[in-house]
Amino acid sequence: MEAVLAHLRDAIERGEYAVGDKLPAEASLGKEFEVSRSVVREALRGLQALGLTASKTGKGTFVVSKRPVENPVFGPYSARDILEVRRHVEVPAAAYAARRHTSDHLDALTELVERMEHETDNTAWVALDSLFHITIAQTSGNPVFGKVIEEIRDALARQSTLLNQLGDRRAASNVEHRILLEAIGSGDELAATEAMTQHLTRVESTLSTIVGPQTATAVPEAHENGDS
């Protein structure tokens, strides 16, 4: 998946596929790269999140920009939308989790962290990552926090996939998750707040590196049909 996405992104940025060009069909790309159509589909979603392509129902995927947009879109939510919500929900939720957690909560979070540290499949890791953040929100003792993170679960997974594909975030995230777990387990609200804040800051930094400082204005319909 990473190789397919990187190759297609490079081809678009070099002009091999010009703005307005239609990309080959999923089946053709799968044959070219010798991967399944599901792998191609995830790579195409990555291109679309970066604002490089747009999907037109029944017609295919078209190039709409040679440079990534500054604010990528993951399903119905942009990266900016997600980060703003996470900073206002997950940071205080981590502090409440440090104050209110039970031994069962810690057992669940510990199991998730350990599974992520040993997981080799990227798709499975992303699912565990989303569940880890949902569980922290639920551990806060405030069901609204949990509901909010559940609502953006798919967008979080899509963003996490892109960060892993192009930003090699998994190893760093595992370390940050372990620090966050230990802070919550110690009951230190300030440490939990700092750990979650640092985690989200590094996510934002990696995303900024991926899209790069140079951006282009995309065709208005670039973010339509985001769930193709």
Q: Are 67 and 216 in contact (CB under 8 A)?
A: yes
Say whether 76-210 and 2-68+212-223 share the same fold. Answer: no
Q: Are 139 and 100 in contact (CB under 8 A)?
A: yes
Hey, which CATH number is domain 76-210, 3.50.50.60, 3.40.50.300, 3.90.1150.220, 1.20.120.530? Answer: 1.20.120.530
Does the pLDDT of residue 8 top 80, yes or no?
yes
What pLDDT does residue 1 have? 77
Between the CA of residue 172 and those of 94, 167, 215, what are the distances in Å? 19, 10, 26
Residues with Cβ within 8 Å of 202's Cβ and at least 6 positions away in sequence, in order, are 172, 176
Q: Domain segments of the chain: what residues? A: 2-68+212-223, 76-210
Does the pLDDT of residue 213 top 70, yes or no?
no
What pLDDT does residue 70 have? 87
Give me 60's structure tokens.
């295919």
Q: In this structure, which amino acid lies at residue 32? A: E
Hey, which CATH number is domain 2-68+212-223, 1.10.10.10, 1.10.3470.10, 1.10.1740.110, 2.40.50.140? Answer: 1.10.10.10
Q: What is the mean pLDDT of residues 60-69?
A: 91
Q: What is the mean pLDDT of residues 158-172?
A: 89
Closest CA to 160 of 63, 72, 89, 67: 72
pLDDT in tens, 106-148: 999 999 999 999 999 888 999 999 999 999 999 999 999 999 9
Q: Is the pTM of this model over 0.85?
A: no
